[in-house]
Amino acid sequence: MIKGLGSVEKALNILCLFDFDNPKLSAQEISDRLDIPLSSIYKYLDVLLKKGFIAKNDNSRHFILGLSIFHLLNVCIVGKKLIDVALPEMKFLWKETGETILLTVVHDQEVMCLERILSNKLIKLSLERGEMKPMYAGADGKVVLAYQEQSFIEKFCSSVTIKKLTKNTPKNHSQLLEQLQQIRRQGYSITDSEVDEGAIAVAAPIFNHKQKLIAAITIAGLKERTPFNVISRWSELIVEKAISISRELGFSGKIPKN
């Protein structure tokens, strides 16, 4: 077993002990059920308490599940709802273009593939669910970054180093910031070979009922089979479907531009 995974597994085992029949447990009960020394149990409980995954039940010696569990549950529900709403529009884009369609979300200072429909063509762009990509390159990454709050963008530029993935990857943060302004002006992002050579993509932002960006939807294909008039059509389609998804999620008003 990889070093450290044993502790992770034991901590997860503790959380899994809580259920409808056992909403609260004492340290001794946890120790007995997992056959782990009480002294070790307290160490795990201390970490789980600090992270908010468990909490003390009033003044008793019992523990209950904490608010961090509730937060993760809400994230799970929101992610599921987003996929349910976005998937029909993704299928429409796939039928119209025959190319790979991606739904990506923010994950720390990167973007993560939440859902995808792969191209039906022999040679295709592929991204696995859960796979991470840089936020400073690629249509989906940059459109997600463009619509973040200014404080997020400033922190991103001060803490993330731009790695040259291809000759078209932004050279520095100054160039990236100029590109983000252009994305906000037009309401979508087009990139050419910024992450993978020969790949072209168009992405648009998805907003929720709080007028906050929560995801990006992308059409990604090969440049050699995508003439300019096709890219222009992709841009129209991706914006149309991004707005449609946003409306379903309660977004009102216009996509913010500057």
Token couple for 218 = 């992308």
Tell me how far apart the alpha carbons of residues 65 and 237 are, in angstroms, rounded to a whole number.
44
How far CA 256 is from CA of 46, 184, 213, 241, in Å, comes to: 44, 7, 10, 16
Q: Tens of pLDDT along 111-146?
A: 999 999 999 888 878 788 889 999 999 999 999 999
Q: Specify the CATH number of the domain 5-65.
A: 1.10.10.10
pLDDT tens digit sequence for 62-111: 999 988 887 777 666 566 789 989 999 999 999 999 999 999 999 889 99
2 pLDDT band, cuts 50/70/90, is: very low
List all residues 6 or more positions away from 208 whose beta carbon is below 8 Å from its beta carbon. Answer: 214, 246, 249, 250, 251
Q: For the chain, where do the domains classified as CATH 3.30.450.40 start and end?
A: 79-248
Is the overall model pTM greater than 0.95, yes or no? no
Positions of CATH 1.10.10.10 in the chain = 5-65
Q: Any idea which fold 79-248 has?
A: Beta-Lactamase (3.30.450)
Do the strands 62-65 and 100-107 form a parallel or antiparallel pair, or are they unpaired?
A: unpaired
